[in-house]
Amino acid sequence: MAEKKTKPTPKPRVAMREQPAIERVGNFSEVALGYTREQAMAEAARCLQCRKPACVKGCPVEINIPGFITRLAEGDVRGAYGILRETNSLPAVCGRVCPQEVQCEGACILGQMTDKASGEKLEPVAIGRLERFAADTFAAESACDELTGKPVCAMPRDGLKVACIGSGPSSLTVAGYLSALGVQVTIFEALHEPGGVLVYGIPEFRLPKATVGREIDALRAQGVEIRCNWVGGKTVAVRDLLNDGYQAVFIGVGAGLPKFLGVPGESLVGVYSANEYLTRVNLGRAYDYPAYDTPVTRGKHVAVIGGGNVAMDAARTALRLGAERVSIVYRRTREEMPARREEIHHALEEGVHLEMLCNPTAYVGDGKHRLAALRLQRMCLGAPDASGRCRPEAIPGDVFELPCDQAILAVGTGSNRVLLQDTPEVTLNKWGYIVVDEETGETSLPGVYAGGDIVTGAATVILAMGAGRRAAKAIARKLGLQ
Amino acid sequence: MAYKVPRPADGTFLSCVIADYMTSEGHPPQNRKTGAIPWLAGKLYFLGDIMAARIIRKEVLIPGQTTKLVLDAPHVAAKAKPGNFVILRVHGKGERVPLTIADADPQQGTITLVYLVLGKSTWLLNQLEEGQELNDLCGPLGRPTHIEPGPEPVVCVGGGTGIAAMHHIAKGFSRAGHEVISVIGARAKDLLLFENELRTFSHDVLVATNDGSHGIKGFVTDALRDYLDAHKDVAEVVAVGPVPMMEAVANLTRPYGVKTTVSLNSIMIDGIGMCGACRVNVGGKIQFACVDGPEFDGHQVDFVELRERLSAYKPHELKSYQECGCSHG
């Protein structure tokens, strides 16, 4: 048994540098700037190295969190990165966009303790920031030869091949897991760039494209083949792949069908789905128009409808595109918003207005089929509903108009039918999502697996990765690799 | 015969020799019943990372205005059906451009596109020559035309560049055993497309030009009205062309009670149902042209709304076009 450590009162959590709000609203560069080596080592030293680490249980991809933090505390970035990559194919992405506060950090024992001296609650170890530091620093210090050289783990096995449809977080996880076991994985992506929601959805200032690209290059170096412009269900069918000798097919096509409210005026010019708005700006790089050819209308007064992370992304994007006023319209209050606290905080810091307890009842045109205002019904909170959140109720007669020339709808997405229409053998539930075996991710069509938003409906990057990991394990067992 | 497929990572080319899979006639063996090409399904493995497509033939149909491209795109050609479209990008910073497939030859592995030079992207596309490649080609997209086998007469109406897309649909009806009457129109004789191609399988080709330089003097609707008055057995009218033309056709056929299908060219980004930019009001319901269409019941489409939505990016289009005209031209 090691000598008993004397445990002084843990130091406060090391803050991470950020671009000041006043500067960042004028650019698309990343907001959070990451730890320095000293900061990372200091933060890593806060870890209690619990014998039964609760943080690992809180992680959908079961990262050996105490393990990688120990390495970081010793200054061994390469060792830490190696541990991360054992279970996580996208550490630089997860370190940025995971809701750590409800996962690893939410379970961190340090975060449950109070400071004996001041009686204040202690903050958990900044696991996400450390993960990001390890991934970024490894990439920066271990340039091309490390990333593109063949890793030692994968001994390619003849005749084993698996196809993934879609190249978002769940498919990338499947590809990372299986290719490390020597399986030839081919990813079919419908758009012209791989990454799925990491590329078309999450903005540059939150997750730089170069970071995503680096993770994908690392997978390519591991032998994963990615084919863009192949539309699952159109260019290539699931049965084509099974006939072609793929032993398993993983469907990770996400839930990308934008929802509309169905209120009058929704077809007015100036009303966007958040998907369209963000796809133009992110995938099409419309923020750099006309250097890139995809245009986006730059609204002056922008209303973003919805209270999730996508709404925050759209609002903050609109500010960066030069909007004079950006309002988030949400029918409950700030407390009930599903967005991460950090995202709401960043948005407010940057000057986004919150129009709470309002529900759009119509889009008002200017007579020339262009949006002029949003008609809003004031709401109040009633009794909690099935979701446990207070049900918003209309206040009769309390209606007003919010002038705006652009409205961006971020009220959720549904199941995209393109692949599913072509694959009727796969059973869907009543919402149009794929029914899978919870343990293995296998669908009603043997050998065909699914995971991510196309199974659960819109959720987070890390949950999709968790589903990818479960499916990959099941596929590996089926192929006799474990 | 070998297909060259570009590898974007290192810029080199991978030759994919699939000659082994060709029959003695030089065609891949095709399953006559399903139309499936076994070698293609079996050998996806050989077709590189991205779907770049090489231009095999380029033909200027109307100088400075309309061009026809035949592209080497076996994986798209194998699945392309009448009514489908593709999305392409000319270069790495380009926008995604939807274009309807004017013809497809699964045996040769080619598709035909016809485009009107209208903005920056089509202008850039027009700069490419035979042997050069598009940056991206994605498809076939959209629901294909609903074609039941039968002998009933079907009238296919095409206007301007839309004649090219209509050609693929008319051919589909003809192959399914229908008597096809093609009605095509343009401002003048020189601006008519695909007349000879349509004559190879159409029962009749009716032509209307605004100046009377070919066929009747007037619009396609004039020719269509005369035909519908004289023939009561028309099963369906399909119209592809400028929005005002499709609207006029739908208004004309309504009192005749003839099923009328129009093919809509809404603004699109992804073409796979993700953005909703292409939403159209059909019978009071929101439909996405890319995945629910592009063909809809012409009597149900809200054309006024469609016209307004199509104009959303007019200022951007003009600006881009002018800028590229200055910087490239």
Express each pLDDT in A393-414 by its tens digit: 999 999 999 999 999 999 999 9
- Assess whether A273 and A388 both reside in one domain: yes
- Assess whether A301 and A280 both reside in one domain: yes
pLDDT at B320: 65
Contacts of B272 in chain A (CB under 8 A): 190-191, 231, 234, 256, 416, 418
Q: How far is CA A247 from CA A185, A477, B132, in A?
A: 10, 12, 37
Q: What is the count of structural domains for chain A?
A: 3
Question: What mean pLDDT is predicted for residues A385-392?
Answer: 81
What whole-number distance in Å separates Cα of residue B236 and Cα of residue B170?
Answer: 11
Contacts of B270 in chain A (CB under 8 A): 190-191, 200, 279, 283
CATH number reported for the structural domain that contains residue A80 in this entry: 1.10.1060.10
pLDDT at B24: 32
pLDDT at B36: 36
Going residue by residue through chain B, which has 329 residues, state the pLDDT in tens, using 9 for 90 and above: 233 333 333 322 222 222 223 333 333 333 333 333 333 333 333 334 445 689 999 999 998 889 999 999 999 999 999 999 999 999 989 999 999 999 999 999 999 999 998 888 888 999 999 999 999 999 999 999 999 998 999 999 999 889 999 999 999 999 999 999 999 999 999 899 999 999 999 999 999 999 999 999 999 999 999 999 999 999 999 999 999 999 999 999 999 999 999 999 888 888 999 998 899 999 989 999 999 989 999 999 999 889 888 877 777 666 666 665 433 33
Given pLDDT bands bounded at 50, 70 and 90, which one contains residue A250? very high
Using the beta-carbon criterion (under 8 Å), do A234 and B139 form an inter-chain contact?
Answer: yes
Decide if A138 contacts A101 (C-beta within 8 A): no
Shortest Cα distance from A190 to chain B (angstroms)? 7
Backbone angles phi, psi at A474, to 5 degrees: -65, -40
What whole-number distance in Å separates Cα of residue B143 and Cα of residue B278?
Answer: 14
Given pLDDT bands bounded at 50, 70 and 90, which one contains residue A386? confident
- Assess whether A111 and A171 both reside in one domain: no
A158 inside 8 A of chain B by CB: no
- Assess whether A58 and A99 both reside in one domain: yes
- Beta-carbon contacts of B210 under 8 Å, excluding residues fewer than 6 positions away, are B185, B186, B187, B188, B217, B218, B219
In a domain, A146, yes or no: no
**What are the tokens at A66?**
């105490």
Decide if B177 contacts B205 (C-beta within 8 A): no
- Assess whether A129 and A183 both reside in one domain: no
In a domain, B160, yes or no: yes
In a domain, A148, yes or no: no
pLDDT at B51: 53
Task: Please report how the helices A127-141 and A65-73 are oriented relative to each other, as an axis angle in degrees rounded to 10.
Answer: 60
- Assess whether A173 and A87 both reside in one domain: no
The per-residue DSSP string of A134-190 comes to HHHHHHHHSTHHHHHSPPSS----TT-EEEEES-SHHHHHHHHHHHHTT-EEEEE-S
In a domain, A45, yes or no: yes
Cis peptide before B140 (omega within 30 of 0): yes
Decide if A405 contacts A299 (C-beta within 8 A): yes
Q: Mapping DSSP to helix (H, G, I), strand (E, B) and coil, where does residue A221 land?
A: helix
Residue of chain A nearest B309, judged by CA positions: A269
| pTM score, whole prediction | 0.84
What whole-number distance in Å separates Cα of residue A230 and Cα of residue A218?
Answer: 21
- Assess whether A65 and A129 both reside in one domain: yes
User: Among A358-367, A415-424, B30-39, B209-218, which is the least confidently predicted range?
Assistant: B30-39
Decide if A164 contacts A190 (C-beta within 8 A): no
Using the beta-carbon criterion (under 8 Å), do A293 and B136 form an inter-chain contact?
Answer: no
Q: How far is CA B167 from CA A463, B61, B69, B195, in A?
A: 47, 15, 15, 9
The domain in which residue A330 lies consists of 260-411
Using the beta-carbon criterion (under 8 Å), do A227 and B51 form an inter-chain contact?
Answer: yes
The domain in which residue B294 lies consists of 153-311
Backbone angles phi, psi at B70, to 5 degrees: -105, 120
Q: Mapping DSSP to helix (H, G, I), strand (E, B) and coil, where does residue B228 land?
A: helix
Using the beta-carbon criterion (under 8 Å), do B270 and A280 form an inter-chain contact?
Answer: no
Work out whether the CA dihedral B106, B110, B113, B119 comes out positive or negative. positive
